[in-house]
Structure 1
């Protein structure tokens, strides 16, 4: 897949933000490794075809990133079509989905609130439950500081431009 397809799908500003932020949020490792909960991962969070110990080139990692972003942006837009034309909310939703999975995103309170037009509530649900407790910040039963930071960034970006 290509950057042009990603841009056509989410728009140039959203694509640029996702291509810049995802490696920062996921880290970038040019080999297959196990993430903090043991999932074989490569490059900037790629898991689908990652091979433990295999070296990856910068070009391979860039292609995998674009492919992963497209693979997650398509279902995000399918289950929350109202995000089309909302670059910050769409970018935050795709970043969230690439981390938790498209199915989890589409079944989340975040997606339901976007679909109900409650954009501020959708953004809040990215990292805070209705009871005010942190959510979507654990993996393998442990709170991961990187996920706490990631959810705060996604929420902040999501809230840009909202009344």
Structure 2
């Protein structure tokens, strides 16, 4: 099948691979905590900050599973609103959604990565998740300080994005 046909495959919102990626990078925190990298913003489940919840509140695994599924769908829709679906395959879509969950919808949609993907420059767009035109890390700073864990996540997202999704045989 041609590359174009692979990219034109319908995308799955909030699929199992995306949820696994969320849990890998965000972990699933059942107790609301003040996220140091986000200036103390109350954070829960797999990185959710809105609607706000009081620090120390405890959620059940089932509640967080529901919150995470809603988050994945909500942020996936935001990506589809700023990058045409025919410019994405499942892996680039999931990687961009995971990126958006971390940097915000506006950050992801306004990013150089999104601009390149919209322009049909898939490989360059995927690479732009982790590095700038000069090869330096991007989206890997908190409070102006480089955070190795954020760069590791950006590399994961870029590599995931670069891997063309394989269609299942009928």
TM range (shorter): 0.7 to 0.9
TM-superposed CA distance for 1:22, in Å, is: 0.2
List, as ranges, runs of 4+ consecutive aligned residues in structure 1 with deviation greater than 2 Å: 82-85
Instruction: Give me the whole-angstrom Cα distance separating, in 2, the residues matched to 1:41 and 1:69.
Output: 16
**Shift in CA distance, 145/83, structure 1 to aligned 2, threshold 3 Å:** farther
- For 1:2-25, what per-residue CA distance to the aligned partner results, in whole angstroms no more than 9, with x for missing partners? xxxxxxx8427x611111110110
Q: Does 1:11 align with 2:12?
A: yes
Count of residues paired in the alignment? 153
**Shift in CA distance, 66/153, structure 1 to aligned 2, threshold 3 Å:** same
Show the counterpart of 1:23: 23
Structure 1, unpaired ranges of 5+: 1-8
- The TM-score with structure 1 as length reference comes to 0.87
Q: Does 1:133 align with 2:136?
A: yes
TM-superposed CA distance for 1:145, in Å, is: 2.2
- For 1:106-133, what per-residue CA distance to the aligned partner results, in whole angstroms no more than 9, with x for missing partners? 1111111001110010011101000111
> For 2:31, what is the secondary structure of its paired residue?
strand
TM-superposed CA distance for 1:85, in Å, is: 5.9
CA contact (8 A) 2:113 2:129 kept: yes
CA contact (8 A) 1:82 1:114 kept: no
CA contact (8 A) 1:10 1:73 kept: no
Match of 2:109 among 91, 99, 106: 106
Show the counterpart of 1:5: none
> For 2:15, what is the secondary structure of its paired residue?
helix
Show the counterpart of 2:127: 124
CA contact (8 A) 1:10 1:84 kept: no
Instruction: Give me the whole-angstrom Cα distance separating, in 2, the residues matched to 1:28 and 1:53.
Output: 15
Show the counterpart of 2:7: none
**Shift in CA distance, 56/146, structure 1 to aligned 2, threshold 3 Å:** same
Structure 2, unpaired ranges of 5+: 1-9, 166-170
Q: Which has the larger radius of gyration?
A: 2
1:1-163 aligned at under 5 Å gives the runs 10-11=11-12, 15-37=15-37, 38-49=40-51, 50-82=53-85, 86-161=89-164
